[in-house]
Chain A
Amino acid sequence: MKLFATYLGSDHNKNIFGTIKQVTIMTLLVVFITIMVGIWPGIVYKETAGYQFSKYDIHLNGPITGEFIKELSEELPAGAATLGLLSSAAQVVVDQAEARVQTTYYDSQSEGALEMGPVNSDTLVAGDISSDLPVIADVYTAKGLGIEIGDAFTVKGIGEAGSGDQEYEVRLSGLIAPTTGVTGLYLPADLSRLGGSEIGGEEMPIFSDLYIQSEPAASIDLATVGQGQWSETVTGMTRQQELKSALAEVESSMPKRIRDALIGASLLVLMIYLVREHSVRLDRRQRQLAILSSLGMSRAAILRFFGAEQLLLAVVPIALGSFLGVSYLGSVGIWLPRQTEYGVLGAVVGGFAVAVVLSLIGLRRKLARTDMARLLSAE
């Protein structure tokens, strides 16, 4: 270990700038490789972010609770979040026996983006949600509107683009004590898609219950699809087709063959540089290796020394170069999915590993051919 520590970088130790220069060049190469390998998946990810959900199979095998949604969100890669995961495919009411309703905040004002609030503890404090058209208000909203359970009232929808305003006659069926700080009406799926509403001339936020997109078909305790059609299963609408066409559109801008060729070429540049660098380093130290051999170091031990040194010298460029490459892509708005980050790291590490193996094969052949005695005898 002591010998190795002294040997490490020993051809540069009189000139530390030599080692710094080599590490810097390797780092820049890794930055280049990271960008080359990561940029395309990053662009695809960015352009199809709205469809990412359909890449994930979501199996609903039990009551849908806030905890479940939380866990689900954590499994998704950063950026995908729940965007597109939740949509108005089905209204799900769970654990009806305990008269609880799970709710998800649907922000209709922000162009369809969904934000999940804490959803697990909005407890029905009065009424019944098993009717065909359950309409629930939190106690503050009900008080403000002056309505009680069983009262009928009109909801005037602002309507989706181009559909015009619509009015719905509904009847309040339950009250909840809100715990999320969000107050308003909780309506079945179809009504909540109005995009906004007025009640008695006042704008009123409308929330729908939990909407789950599921592929394959989800199996849940109890659900209602549309208005009052109770079902024990929910078939999620797939957007796979949309994703495919979006991907096709993005990918058509650069043929796969060219992309692969660019990645391959950049990896090749890295490997050629490394093998060449290793070869130069080896030539510089031929006499040193001959001396170690004369002191009793076997070829295998010399190979281990050389290989370990190359691997150690690669750690900083790999770590720093990958980080800088990914950061650069992020700075231009291209965030990589986690899988791609792993892929980039794999490509870089793989490139280094191949280069080190090639170098070691070359070194092994060179050592076998080198006339150690002649090197030692040379003045």
Chain B
Amino acid sequence: MIIESQSLVVGYGNQRANPIIDGLHFSAFAGDIKILWGPSGSGKTTLLNSLAGFIKPWSGMLAYRGHDITDLTESATADFRNRNIGMIHQSFNLIPAFSARMNVAAPLLIAGGKSKNSLDAADRIMDSLGISHRKDARPSELSGGEQQRVALARALVNEPDLLLADEPTGNLDEHNSQKILGILADQRDRGRAIIIATHDPRVAGIGTDTLVFPLVS
């Protein structure tokens, strides 16, 4: 099992009233594509952010490969995220000042990787996703589909076990959406656990399991 939650309660604010997620039992194995399905504002992104360590659960337990990660320090959470999680967002979230190649290499550099090794790894993953010809371009010079593939390359460059995707096709046309879905399916076949928040039926189609939001406790 890659990730698991038990009785997970997540919400915003200090009052701890009206949780967004209340008592969730959830697990994802290698090769799973879990679809978090539901309308905007139903809590899909909140769960993703909680799994990524951006939001501390109010209560319950989160475990990664059997290790409790609920109470990690901020620094340990950042390190955990760097080593084990790849994230992609609807708005791509590329750093505008960096070239595509630097964007992809950033997680490895943050982890303390050597410059040449990190950039070589970035080149390899960009090549496998068919965007190596755009490696020197800035994000603003890339199309939406190219930006999302750069974001995917960045999410995959440190070979994480867990891939979290928040509306990965939300800003893409049909053609580019299919490309991204193809890459995600390929990553599933390589044994990664993938959790996708979406309300796009095309994305839901590649899932192995679907969690419907809002959750009913």
Contact = CB atoms under 8 A, between A and B. Distances in A.
A334 to B, nearest CB: 44
Contact of B78 (A6, A10, A11, A297): A297
Contacts of B177: none
Contact of A2 (B45, B80, B90, B118): B118
A3 B89 contact: no
Contacts of A300: 75
Contacts of A287: 93
A296 B110 contact: yes
Contacts of B93: 287, 290-291, 294, 376
Nearest to B197: A377
A7, A10, A296, A373, most chain B CB atoms within 10 A: A296
B98 A10 contact: yes
Given A295-B107, A301-B110, A373-B55, A6 B97 contact: yes
A231 interface: no
A3 B109 contact: yes
Given A298-B74, A298-B75, A377-B166, A292 B110 contact: yes
A288 interface: yes
Nearest to A367: B74
Contacts of B45: 373, 377
Contact of A288 (B95, B105, B118, B166): B95
Contacts of B55: 373
B194 to A, nearest CB: 17
Contacts, number: 89
A291 B82 contact: no
Nearest to B89: A376
Given A2-B115, A2-B118, A299 B89 contact: no
Contacts of B176: none
Given A2-B115, A295-B154, A373 B49 contact: yes
Contact of A373 (B54, B95, B96, B119): B54
A296 B78 contact: yes
A3 B75 contact: no
Nearest to B82: A296
Interface in A352-379: 372-373, 376-379
B111 interface: yes
Contacts of A296: 78-83, 107, 110-111
A14 B95 CA distance: 13
Interface in B34-81: 45-46, 49, 52, 54-55, 74-75, 78-81
A223 to B, nearest CB: 70
A296 B46 CA distance: 18
B110 A295 contact: yes
Contacts of A11: 97
B106 interface: yes
Contacts of B171: 379
B87 interface: yes
A379 B90 contact: yes
B205 to A, nearest CB: 24
A109 to B, nearest CB: 69
A13 interface: yes
Contacts of B90: 377, 379
B95 A299 contact: no
A30 to B, nearest CB: 27
A164 to B, nearest CB: 84
A123 interface: no
B163 interface: no
Nearest to A299: B74
A10 B115 contact: no
Interface string A250-290: 00000000000000000000000000000000000001101
A287 to B, nearest CB: 8
A10 B95 contact: yes
B11 to A, nearest CB: 13
Given A294-B81, A295-B106, A296-B107, 5 more contacts: A288-B96, A291-B93, A295-B82, A297-B82, A379-B90
19 contacts: A3-B102, A3-B109, A10-B95, A14-B96, A287-B93, A290-B93, A293-B78, A295-B154, A296-B107, A297-B110, A298-B75, A298-B78, A300-B75, A373-B54, A376-B87, A376-B89, A376-B91, A377-B90, A377-B166
